[in-house]
Chains A and B, each alone.
Chain A
Amino acid sequence: MNSSSHSRDIPYPDIVPIDEVAVNQRVARLNSRSIKKESKVAALEMALSMIDLTTLEGSDTPGKVIQLCHKAKEPHADMPDLPTVAAVCVYPNMVSVAEKALRGTEIHVAGVATAFPSGTATLDAKIEETKQVVGDGADEVDMVISRGEFLKGNYHYVFDEIAAVREAAGDAHLKVILETGELQTYENVRRASDLAIRAGADFIKTSTGKVKPAATQPVTLVMLEAIRDFYYKTDRMVGMKPAGGIRKAKQAIQYLVLVNETLGADWLTPDYFRFGASSLANDLLLQIVKQKTGVYQSSYYFSND
């Protein structure tokens, strides 16, 4: 860990021991929080405002993306006072479509880049793609790390790659996807988090959604603790984005509790916490309407985008 390249001056994070059993227990404990009444309504609306409304399919079309952007702007027409979602997240070739559809709104455009979801491309191609995405109007870039290099122990490579993409992304917010479902241990999750944060990530993100398991609460807790330790050391706030597998409002609230009791209120904003999800939005809407009217509505009353 001592050689000449610029990134090697930065001390690489040692293994931070993580006790898996205790992490799972802590999550179970936090899941026993009972969120009712006003605090539930507030949580549902907060979660809605934190969604990166996502479509990442080979079959995506401009029409589908445009309609998704409509949903992003106005999640439920019957309730015009609801917050909009935080961002729309699409493949590189759809960034310009989304940018146009969302122009004039506060909603961010997130483009996945760096050979999402596998990340197996050359560094040059990844940098090129990142520049393209930003040039097309994405103000957020969701990159993936090279898990193969990470698992090989080639941490310098991973660090340098993130740093290079960071540079290529310019002013755009960089979210670094660790693909925790491939990292095997919580220690690896922690190490990858520390690496990404030190290499300049604005957000660290669990998953692409293409690998199972995607986001889990224990993994999210480990990542939140990495963010906390970095904040203690440097005063810099890094954001967190669990993505994939979060479909129900109840799960979303559990994640919010996790953030609330690990990092506190300052992270409970779309600037520092996001959900990468698509079907979550409708379950949140269903629950919000239930809280206001007292009854569950048929799913027909909510748009399916």
Chain B
Amino acid sequence: MADEQQTVDEAEQKEESFKPSAPTSKLNFDGPWKYDEAPQSTAAVEIKDQYELFIDGAFREPEKGRYMTSINPATEEPLASIAEATQQDVDEAVQAARKAYEKRWSPLEAAERGKYIFRLARMIQERSREFAVIESMDGGKPIRESRDVDIPLAAAHFFYYAGWADKLEYAFPGRKAEPLGVAGQIIPWNFPLLMLAWKVAPALATGNTVVLKPAETTSLTALKFAELCRDAGLPEGVVNIVTGAGQTGSLIVNHDDIDKIAFTGSTKVGKIIMESLAGTDKKYTLELGGKGPNIIFEDAPLDQAVEGIINAIFFNQGHVCCAGSRLLVQEGIADHLVRKLRDRMETLIVGDPLDKNTDIGAINSEQQYNKINEYLELGVQEGAELYQSSCDLPEKGYYCRPTLFTNVGQSNRIVREEIFGPVLTIQTFRTADEGIAKANNTPYGLAGGVWTDKGSKIFKVGSRIRNGVVWANTYNQFDPTSPFGGYKESGKGREGGLHGLYPYVKLNPR
């Protein structure tokens, strides 16, 4: 009988844990003054019903005639049909890239290559609003982010690497940097055009040609970019875009005539790619998952740290490989900080990605939405305390409330595994050593943050965090001049900056 009662209690508890928590604050963020809708117009945007493959400078139908449907995750409505590339399509794309590499692109004078890349950069800027709106419709990210972050940064990457094209002898003094050949590039769905820019810009600047596969849920901006390559008069075959799912990706990875693989995505797929590439002479860079520690010391500027924590985990719905998803707080300020954090979460606007006031948009796909919800359930099962903001969610579309888990341990799966959603776990530490130990106790090592008002502590702690990037008193800052990449299972190689040229060149004596 007692057992039965307990089971009922547990069931009730479990059910309740998925209702938004009642706001605990005395602050009232639900007053009569509400912001009206401020939707971004989609009038200037043209999305076709069907998109083909971009091979050898032209759009062509896939060999097998198969198409996938791209869904708008905010409405669950189909946006467009996307071609699925199979073996023969990938072969043709690689052949086109090889031919372009040998005949047109690598023989071209470096300054001329630079001009093309500058042109692409300018054209992205000119059409930035169109790209931003499509990015938000296709991937669910808030228009404020696609407009202010994704697209400007993508253009900046092209500008930056365009500048390197004719200056490689200064990048590698005393050595001759030669291109590798054809680069196969596979990019994720969280920052579609930006990841394309990270991959394509350095490859073209160093004289390589590319076969790129965007993620199956977010192919549209890559295909728009293909239109832009065509409009820019880029020589045929220099950039080839083949759409498709994981199968298409594996065709690229295993293709004999590809010289280099650049992949951004999950650690799981990264491991499979590494296995496939073992024993081949292909160069590769992998930019994989993360479980970023964000360490807050008690002498940190707290109100600004709260903003940083919010930005670290809720930027792009938490679909960020370098997200600060593990909050480590010095114990003396933990209660105060969590209270501030909860209050701040109440002011986050979750909803229509195309509304200019939206802070958190839609989860990218149904699959990811389900995965996040599994983790929420798992967290509760593991005994963590779940807190969610009390915001209303739209009825249609894949939305997730911003979520905190307290009362968690280093051994919990929600602390160890990458959730890739708006879910933050909070742990406390007493000494800096303890904080550092917790930060490093993970197979990942991509990015993290340190918050303290004391400059010396930033360097002392920051240099002991085994992460490719450590931000100090800020988070999620990106710049094309700065290298980015991971330690341990977060990847291999660096993208961005001067370092981002290495993976695309052979260095020979002059």
Binds B, one of A51-59, A126-134, A225-233, A282-290: A225-233
Q: Which chain A residue lies CB-closest to B347?
A: A261
Cα–Cα distance between A155 and B36 once the two chains are bound (Å): 45
Cα–Cα distance between A266 and B356 once the two chains are bound (Å): 25
Q: Are A265's CB and B31's CB within 8 A?
A: yes
Least CB distance from A195 to B in Å reads: 18
Q: Say yes or no for A39: interface residue by CB 8 A criterion.
A: yes
Q: Are B33's CB and A264's CB within 8 A?
A: no
Say which residue of A22, A35, A266 sits within 8 Å of B308 (CB atoms).
A22
Main secondary structure on chain B at its contact with chain A?
loop
Least CB distance from A229 to B in Å reads: 8
Q: Mark A203-241, 1 if CB is under 8 A from B, else 0.
A: 000000000000000000000010010011001000000
Query: Which one of A22, A36, A38, A232 has the greatest number of beta carbons of chain B within 10 Å?
Result: A22
Instruction: Tell me which residues across on chain B come within 8 A of A268, comparing CB atoms.
Output: 31, 33
Say which residue of B26, B29, B474 sits within 8 Å of A21 (CB atoms).
B474
Cα–Cα distance between A19 and B455 once the two chains are bound (Å): 12
Least CB distance from A209 to B in Å reads: 27
Q: Are B27's CB and A17's CB within 8 A?
A: no
Binds A, one of B41-49, B131-139, B298-306, B384-392: B298-306
Q: Which chain B residue lies CB-closest to A221?
A: B303
Least CB distance from B336 to A in Å reads: 8
Main secondary structure on chain A at its contact with chain B?
helix
Q: Say yes or no for B264: interface residue by CB 8 A criterion.
A: no
Q: A residues 15-43 with Cβ under 8 Å of B? A: 16-19, 21-23, 25-26, 32-40, 42-43
Least CB distance from B164 to A in Å reads: 29
Q: Say yes or no for A260: interface residue by CB 8 A criterion.
A: yes
Q: Are B32's CB and A265's CB within 8 A?
A: yes
Q: Say yes or no for A46: interface residue by CB 8 A criterion.
A: yes
Q: Are B33's CB and A43's CB within 8 A?
A: yes
Q: Are A39's CB and B36's CB within 8 A?
A: yes
Q: Mark A241-270, 1 if CB is under 8 A from B, else 0.
A: 000000000000000100011011110100
Q: Which chain A residue lies CB-closest to B344?
A: A261
Least CB distance from A224 to B in Å reads: 10
Instruction: Tell me which residues across on chain A come within 8 A of B473, comparing CB atoms.
Output: 19, 21-22
Q: Say yes or no for B396: interface residue by CB 8 A criterion.
A: no
Say which residue of B28, B34, B347, B356 sits within 8 Å of A34 (CB atoms).
B356
Q: Say yes or no for B274: interface residue by CB 8 A criterion.
A: no
Cα–Cα distance between A36 and B144 once the two chains are bound (Å): 16
Cα–Cα distance between A46 and B308 once the two chains are bound (Å): 31
Cα–Cα distance between A34 and B354 once the two chains are bound (Å): 12
Say which residue of A22, A46, A261 sits within 8 Å of B304 (CB atoms).
A22
Cα–Cα distance between A68 and B147 once the two chains are bound (Å): 45
Q: A residues 271-295 with Cβ under 8 Å of B? A: none
Q: Which chain B residue lies CB-closest to A260?
A: B33
Query: Which one of A19, A37, A231, A266 has the greatest number of beta carbons of chain B within 10 Å?
Result: A19
Q: Which chain A residue lies CB-closest to B27?
A: A264
Cα–Cα distance between A21 and B304 once the two chains are bound (Å): 9
Q: Are B301's CB and A19's CB within 8 A?
A: yes
Least CB distance from B303 to A in Å reads: 5
Q: Say yes or no for B248: interface residue by CB 8 A criterion.
A: no
Cα–Cα distance between A20 and B29 once the two chains are bound (Å): 25
Instruction: Tell me which residues across on chain A come within 8 A of B34, comparing CB atoms.
Output: 39
Q: Which chain B residue lies CB-closest to A235?
A: B26
Say which residue of B28, B36, B308, B474 sits within 8 Å of A264 (CB atoms).
B28
Q: Are A17's CB and B300's CB within 8 A?
A: yes
Least CB distance from B313 to A in Å reads: 16
Known: A18-B301, A34-B35. 16 other contacts (CB 8 A): A16-B302, A17-B299, A17-B453, A19-B301, A19-B473, A23-B304, A26-B307, A34-B38, A34-B356, A35-B36, A36-B35, A38-B36, A42-B32, A264-B29, A266-B31, A268-B31
B residues sitting closer than 8 Å to A (CB atoms) are 26-38, 144, 148, 299-304, 307-308, 336, 339, 347, 356-357, 453, 473-474
Nearest 8 pairs of A and B residues by beta carbon: A265-B31, A22-B304, A34-B38, A17-B453, A19-B304, A19-B301, A34-B356, A17-B301
17 A-B pairs (CB sep. < 8 Å): A18-B301, A18-B304, A19-B304, A19-B453, A22-B301, A32-B144, A33-B35, A33-B357, A34-B356, A35-B35, A35-B36, A38-B36, A39-B33, A40-B36, A235-B26, A260-B29, A268-B31
A residues sitting closer than 8 Å to B (CB atoms) are 16-19, 21-23, 25-26, 32-40, 42-43, 46, 225, 228, 231-232, 235, 256, 260-261, 263-266, 268
